[in-house]
Amino acid sequence: MATRPMLEYLWIVPLLPLLGSAINGLFGAKWPNKTVNWVALGSTGLSLACALEAVREFFESGQVLFRKEFFTWITAGNFRAGFDLQMDQLTVVMVLVVTGVGWLIHIYATGYMAHEGGYYRFFSYLNLFMFFMLILVLAANYVLLFVGWEGVGLASYLLIGFYFLRKSASDAGKKAFIVNRIGDFGFMLGMFLLFRTFHTLDFTALFQAASNPGWGPEGWGQFGTFTVACLLLFMGACGKSAQLPLYVWLPDAMEGPTPVSALIHAATMVTAGVYVVARSHVLFVHSETALVVVAIVGCATAFFAATIGLVQTDIKKVLAYSTVSQLGYMFLACGVGAFSAGIFHLMTHAFFKALLFLAAGSVIHAMGGEQDMRHMGGLSKKIKYTYATMLISTLAIAGLPPLAGFFSKDAILLSAFQIPGGHPLYVLGLLTALLTSFYMFRLIFLTFHGKPRYDEHKVHVHESPWSMLGPLVALAVLSVIGGWVAAPALWGGPDYFASFLTPVFGSHEGAEVLSEAAAHSLELTLAVVAVVAALIGLGVAYWLYLKRPEKADGLAKSLKGVHTILLNKYYVDELYAATIVKPLLWISTNVLWKTADVVAIDGAVNGIAHGAMGIGDRVRRTQSGNTRSYAVWVVIGALVVIAVIFLWPGAGKPVLGWVR
Amino acid sequence: MTASLVVFFALAGLAVIGAVSLILQKHPIHSALSLIVVMVALAGLYLLLGAEFVAAVQIIVYGGAIMVLFVFVIMLLNAGVEEHTNISKLAGPPGLLLVVALAGFITATIVRTTSGVQGSSQTGAMASTSGISNMLFRDFVYPFELTSFLILVAVMGATVLAQREKH
Amino acid sequence: MSAILSANAELIITIVKIVLLLFIVLTVNAYLTWFERKLVAHIQSRWGPHRVGPHGLLQPLADGLKFLFKEDPTPAGVDKFVYFLAPLLALALALTSIAIIPFGPDPLRLFGRDIYLGIAPPDLNIGILALFAITALGVYGVALAGWSSNNKYSLLGGLRSSAQMISYELALTMSVVGVLLMAGSFNLTKIIEAQARHPEWGIFGWNIWPQILGFICFFIAAIAETNRVPFDLPEAESELVAGFHTEYASFKFAMFFIAEYTSMITISCLCSIMFFGGWLSPFPASWTWTHYLPSLILLPFGLWVIWDGIRYETVFGRVILPVVGTGITALGAAFVLYPGVNEFIQGPFWLLSKIFVFLFIYVWMRGTLPRFRYDQLMAFGWKLLLPISIVNVMVTSFVILAKMQWGGK
Amino acid sequence: MVPTNYYIILSGILFGIGVFAFVFKRNIITIFMSIELMLNAVNLAFVAFSQAWGKLDGQVFVLFVIVVAAAEAAVGLGIIILIARNRQTLNVERVDLMKL
């Protein structure tokens, strides 16, 4: 018995959800929902417990990095890909977020999906996702990480297309999958390059090799190994975390059930890209170019998505775009070298964004499937708990103190401000914050305040069951206190979260250009500015959508051009369709199908078939169906064999040679 | 011309005669009887070769079980004298030629390849029986077990085949 | 002359043996019929044959003559060759099977040669196997007879018998395996010797005790193998008018008859050899007085025959019976007088007496038991007898293995 | 001491006769018997060799062959009974529709 059982048997943590998934998937069809619940919640809950125990043991052991090779999976030449799991502070954060939030969302889903068909299928998929996500975050080398990476892609595909009878749903699933393929392509290339350079893909070995002075940092504009590799990896991250230009799948992914949107497309999977960038920070800090690209892309995405979010009317779409923009924040943080801040925001975002989605789900549940905010309003009286939790999360995401979002966003903006030439980034970030608070409150006001815009006789608004409200409350609490670990930083104290992650990111933190005191005062001022921006957004939203609703439409009319562009999301989908999809279709129709397939392949196949028929026609005559003639054929065959043995020079001896 | 040679030629002649009569007989029962003669003669040859156990098994299984089965089936189906049809052209003179060639080739090949093979010391009879059992249960135990499966399958197959489907 | 004799002595001796054995067996057969008829008659509280000769002792002769001189019609449309072959086959095989049996332990020293009792050499390693081989071929006699005589009853009888025989042969063989395992040899002599491992145990050293299950299976299967009651379906008079030998008359019929009784004898020999210690005496070797048991039985019997003879109804009887009686008495006396002869006689005496007991059981069953129905017969053979015998084999082998493992030796 | 080749030649002859019967007999049962005959010929060769090399493998193989032959006979005769039942004939030349 190992002294630290859970660490020694770390593989149990990801395995449990897999078991749950397998059991539900194989036998669940016949079972009542209750049994399925037990299996799904049991497996995930257990794995949460195991994860907690493992974390406890990890800290108890006090080591910086726990790493264990369980079995070798692939070996080819000097290439080894093992089923190796590792645990360090970064992993701890990720694992706890995944299992914890995941478990809460599982509980929520039992209530939300109660009346859906394919109940067992849903939970089987959900557990499968948990398994792959845990593999992803626990993996100790890029190959295993990639397994999880692809796995979560698969799970998200399955879950987006959960209502596969709806064409839009299945299309959205395919879209997500294909767009991710583009990113994964880059990711794989990055892996290959890394292996070719360092002959290993194990994190520890790779980073050791990378951080030895032989590899000098690559300045701006240099395209050395690191830059290329990092850019390729970042390409993958873009795909997974829905950054420009590969973000298009995420809004459509809202076709999936709301718990899925909450778990996969807000809390965990989409943050995988951020995780990867943070995980391979050692590589990124070597390449200024890569960092700059990451920062710019992140920042741009944040602003871009926020602007689209302004005019969306589908409650989940709004949240989707806000997710994209928040992810942009995280990348911005990573880009400016504040990895811990990025991870911090990742965590808090996981809390409040999951909460937002779940609350939105609760609203939709209450409205009986209605998702368009224009047909809501005045719900705050009817569904108090949902309203309260939603409000909390909105405040959090808007970045108002003392909620979680405030601290994390503040940290990001600070570090963006501090790096040389980072001011434009900072300004854009600030604007994004403003926009964020605006559209979030727009959502709140449209949904919960004002006079009802729906037919009260048709729709019977009702509060959700406690199985759904429980997770809401839990997440609400988290999104309130989630940020306080970094609170002391405001009044000059240390940033506990950052220092907690120091063993991982070490000295790669954002350049501390200013002295302590100056930094402290600067931090306070920036915080105030951010809060002010958030409040402005709030105010505008209040004015436009509660005081003067007609003004909103007026504004929309006056800014017709902008409004339509935003409504159509900058025509990005149409752009892609025109530039990529159509040509592809044309090629595949005219070249691959009409030419290659029909002419060449079918021609060959049919030709062979005709030849076979022709031969068969002749050969058939031997098949008289008469047993005796068959007997003669047998004799002929035997005769040939024997004759060969007999006439072959020196043959025969070996025939019986074995007897000796 | 030692005694063993005499016995050999006697038995060999018996076997060949039996085999030939298997062909010449018109009625399956007579063919079966001729075949039994062949088998008994072969058993005698096995004895001559010092393979007593095999000889006994030959008679018990071939003579006592398999051929009884044949006779049984012939009696059951009340098979008559075989009729003369010549639908198959191949099974005519050309076939005859082929068969003769085949037999010649086989014999010639084996003889040529075993020229110089001379009977080594006789393995003692009882030794042979116990030795066989040793080999059967040590070296060949898996094939042995497999044959048991084979027989099981055969039994089931025969049952399924031969039972009249109930109406 | 003598040169030729000495050259082919073995051959000559064997021939003489064969002739002798044939004579004995045929006589025994003949009197077996008498014995059977008498016994069954008494079981059914009748007199049985008692007209021809005293106590009908000459009945067998009469029957034999009848067989010989009856007309022998060959039915129309039979397959001549097979029709004649079948009885020959049956008889030949039956007689051959008895040639394997050894009748005594120690050879008879004559003309400076050891002459063993029994035709086959005592070191015939596959004795029991050879016996089974011959019994296996025995089916053909019946089956072919049934088929060849161009008669539906006979055909049915033949079919039944062949099915029955191949079914029970399995049980027969399997049930013996236990004994073979214990003896570690196919050789009948060795099997008997294996039962004499503990001379002091006497009757308790025989295979019957460990192999009781095997014995029961063997005996039942053997009865079925010989088509005797209660398994005599091939010749079920009531349904098949004598079954496979319906169409056979006079001597050909006699052949079947003799064949059947001979196989009875063979089976009795096997039973006593396999399970009842063959020629071993049931008493511990140390009890030498038991060696006089033959005389002790023969003398009073002979005296009784004399006494019974002199007060017999017919003159012939009054002449012949005392003569026979004196012969028997003399034999008994001779044993007492010549201890060498007495010693030599022990083995055959016990063997013969055991055989006699089994023959008695045969007849007894025929007098007592009803006939099986055919489906019962098959079910019994396949579903009961075979499994039991297999279980017996397994148990025996396990026990032997255990002995090897822990029992030393 | 009989030369091994005698046995081999004998087995070759028997095999040839078996093949001959296999080709030229029309009664399906007889054909089946001729297969048995061929098997027997092979067995003879096996035993002869086992004696020639002083090894027992040959005899063991013979035992296996016998077992296989038994199984084959059981199934084959079952099939023959079926054929006779469905076709009312045992002549293979009348059974040429390749299906029962």
- Which residue of B29, B52, B72 is in closest CB contact with C163? B72
Q: Do D82 and B162 touch (CB under 8 A)?
A: yes
- Spatial distance between the Cα atoms of C142 and A571, rounded to a whole number of angstroms: 99
CA atoms within 13 A on the CB side of A117: 4
Residue (of D45, D97, C54) closest to A623 by Cα position? D97
User: pLDDT grade, residue A496 (50/70/90)?
Assistant: confident
Q: Picking from A98-112, A560-574, D51-65, which range would have the lowest pLDDT averaged per residue?
A: A560-574
Looking at residue C238, its pLDDT comes to 64
The sign of the CA dihedral A465, A471, A477, A479 is negative
For C64-114, how does the pLDDT look when each residue is reduced to its tens digit (9 = 90+)? 888 888 888 888 878 888 888 888 888 898 888 888 888 878 777 777 777
Question: Looking at chain C, which subunits does it touch, using at least 3 CB pairs closer than 8 Å as the criterion?
Answer: B
- Spatial distance between the Cα atoms of B162 and B154, rounded to a whole number of angstroms: 12
- Spatial distance between the Cα atoms of C305 and C294, rounded to a whole number of angstroms: 16
pTM above 0.80, yes or no: no
Higher-scoring residue by pLDDT: C135, B84: C135
Give yes or no: residues B133 and B65 share one domain: no
Q: Is B45 on the interface with D (CB under 8 A)?
A: yes
- Spatial distance between the Cα atoms of C409 and C223, rounded to a whole number of angstroms: 37
- Spatial distance between the Cα atoms of B102 and B89, rounded to a whole number of angstroms: 19
- Spatial distance between the Cα atoms of A137 and A92, rounded to a whole number of angstroms: 9
Which candidate in C79, C142, C162 is best for mutational testing of the B interface (most B CBs within 10 A)? C162
Looking at residue D100, its pLDDT comes to 43
Q: Picking from A102-116, A357-371, B115-129, C394-408, which range would have the lowest pLDDT averaged per residue?
A: B115-129
Query: What percent of chain C is predicted at pLDDT more than 70?
Result: 95
Contact A232, A186 (CB under 8 A): yes
Tell me how crowded residue C77 is: count the other CB atoms within 10 A of its CB: 8
What integer is the mean pLDDT of A507-524? 58
What integer is the mean pLDDT of A582-610? 84
Residue (of C135, A339, A471, D15) closest to B42 by Cα position? D15
Q: Picking from A49-63, A305-319, C244-258, which range would have the lowest pLDDT averaged per residue?
A: C244-258
Q: Do B109 and A631 touch (CB under 8 A)?
A: no
What integer is the mean pLDDT of B56-78? 86
Rg (CA), chain A: 30
Strand, coil or helix: what is A66?
Answer: strand
- Spatial distance between the Cα atoms of C189 and C196, rounded to a whole number of angstroms: 11
Residue (of C348, C194, C182) closest to C281 by Cα position? C348
The total of structural domains in chain B comes to 2
For A429-462, how does the pLDDT look when each residue is reduced to its tens digit (9 = 90+)? 888 988 899 889 888 888 888 888 877 777 777 8
| Cα distances (Å, whole numbers) of residue A423 to A414, B27, C150 | 10, 111, 119
Residues of A whose CB is below 8 A from D96 = 624-627
What integer is the mean pLDDT of B16-26? 89
Residue A566 has pLDDT above 80, yes or no: no
Query: What percent of chain C is predicted at pLDDT more than 90?
Result: 5
DSSP 3-state helix, strand, coil percentages of chain D (rounded to 5)? 80, 0, 15
What integer is the mean pLDDT of A216-222? 72
Beta strands in A50-135 (DSSP E): 66-76, 79-87
- Spatial distance between the Cα atoms of D10 and B45, rounded to a whole number of angstroms: 11
- Which residue of B19, B110, B150 is in closest CB contact with D8? B110
Query: What percent of chain B is predicted at pLDDT more than 90?
Result: 16
- Spatial distance between the Cα atoms of C316 and C325, rounded to a whole number of angstroms: 14
DSSP C283-316: S-TT-GGGGGHHHHHHHHHHHHHHHHHHT-SSHH
Rounded to 5°, the CA angle A618-A621-A625 comes to 150
- Spatial distance between the Cα atoms of B19 and D31, rounded to a whole number of angstroms: 13
For A457-493, how does the pLDDT look when each residue is reduced to its tens digit (9 = 90+)? 777 778 888 888 888 888 888 888 887 877 776 666 6
Looking at residue A657, its pLDDT comes to 42
Q: Which residue of D has its CA nearest to B119?
A: D52
Looking at residue C211, its pLDDT comes to 86
Q: Is B72 on the interface with C (CB under 8 A)?
A: yes
Contact A540, A439 (CB under 8 A): no
Q: Which domain does B36 fall in, by range?
A: 1-80
Q: Do D96 and A626 touch (CB under 8 A)?
A: yes
- Spatial distance between the Cα atoms of C28 and C355, rounded to a whole number of angstroms: 12
Residues of B whose CB is below 8 A from D23 = 91, 95, 99
User: pLDDT grade, residue B125 (50/70/90)?
Assistant: very low
- Which residue of B98, B101, B113 is in closest CB contact with A652? B113
B55: exposed, middle or buried (Cβ count in 10 Å: 0-12, 13-18, 19+): buried
Which candidate in D1, D37, D68 is best for mutational testing of the B interface (most B CBs within 10 A)? D37
Q: Do A652 and B109 touch (CB under 8 A)?
A: yes
Residues of D whose CB is below 8 A from A656 = 49
Q: Do A627 and D92 touch (CB under 8 A)?
A: yes
Q: Which residue of B has its CA nearest to C135?
A: B64
Q: Which residue of A has its CA nearest to D94?
A: A626
- For residue A471, is the peptide bond before it cis, meaning its omega torsion is within 30 degrees of 0? no
Q: Is C166 on the interface with B (CB under 8 A)?
A: yes
The DSSP output letter for A314 is B
Amino acid identity, position A525: T
- Spatial distance between the Cα atoms of A416 and A399, rounded to a whole number of angstroms: 16
Q: Do B94 and A652 touch (CB under 8 A)?
A: no
What integer is the mean pLDDT of A39-61? 89
Residues of A whose CB is below 8 A from D24 = 628
Residues of B whose CB is below 8 A from A639 = 98, 101-102, 105
Question: Looking at chain D, which subunits does it touch, using at least 3 CB pairs closer than 8 Å as the criterion?
Answer: A, B
Looking at residue A587, its pLDDT comes to 85
Q: Is B43 on the interface with D (CB under 8 A)?
A: no
The DSSP output letter for A464 is P
Q: Which fold has domain D4-94?
A: Helix Hairpins (1.10.287)
Interhelix angle A423-448/A384-398, nearest 10 degrees? 170
Tell me how crowded residue C170 is: count the other CB atoms within 10 A of its CB: 17
Which candidate in D4, D22, D53 is best for mutational testing of the A interface (most A CBs within 10 A)? D22
Query: What percent of chain D is predicted at pLDDT more than 70?
Result: 94
Amino acid identity, position C304: W
The mean predicted confidence, pLDDT, of chain A is: 83
Q: Which residue of A has its CA nearest to D22?
A: A631
Looking at residue C201, its pLDDT comes to 81
E strand or H helix at B58: none
Q: Do D18 and B8 touch (CB under 8 A)?
A: no
- Spatial distance between the Cα atoms of D15 and D45, rounded to a whole number of angstroms: 10
Give yes or no: residues B1 and B75 share one domain: yes
For C220-240, how does the pLDDT look when each residue is reduced to its tens digit (9 = 90+)? 999 888 878 787 776 666 666
Which residues, listed in sequence order, are joined to residue D27 by a DSSP beta bridge? D91
Residue B20 distance to chain C (closest CA, Å): 18
Looking at residue A511, its pLDDT comes to 42
- For residue A245, is the peptide bond before it cis, meaning its omega torsion is within 30 degrees of 0? yes
Interhelix angle D28-53/B93-114, nearest 10 degrees? 10
Residue A633 distance to chain D (closest CA, Å): 10
Q: Picking from A27-41, A269-283, A355-369, C154-168, which range would have the lowest pLDDT averaged per residue?
A: C154-168
Looking at residue D4, its pLDDT comes to 81
Contact A309, A225 (CB under 8 A): no
- Spatial distance between the Cα atoms of B16 and C345, rounded to a whole number of angstroms: 47
User: pLDDT grade, residue A514 (50/70/90)?
Assistant: very low
Looking at residue D44, its pLDDT comes to 92
Residue A258 has pLDDT above 60, yes or no: yes
Looking at residue A643, its pLDDT comes to 81
Higher-scoring residue by pLDDT: C328, C407: C328
Residue (of A366, A543, A303) closest to A445 by Cα position? A543
Token pair 């050789």 is found at C187
Residue C391 distance to chain B (closest CA, Å): 17
For A54-96, how does the pLDDT look when each residue is reduced to its tens digit (9 = 90+)? 888 888 887 778 888 888 887 877 788 888 888 888 888 899 9
- Which residue of D3, D10, D77 is in closest CB contact with B12? D10
Annotated domain spans of chain C: 64-281+370-406
What integer is the mean pLDDT of A410-438? 86
Q: Picking from A12-16, A346-350, B22-26, C48-52, which range would have the lowest pLDDT averaged per residue?
A: C48-52
Residue (of B72, A657, A443) closest to C164 by Cα position? B72
How many residues are present in chain B?
167
What integer is the mean pLDDT of B72-86? 78
Residue A164 has pLDDT above 70, yes or no: yes
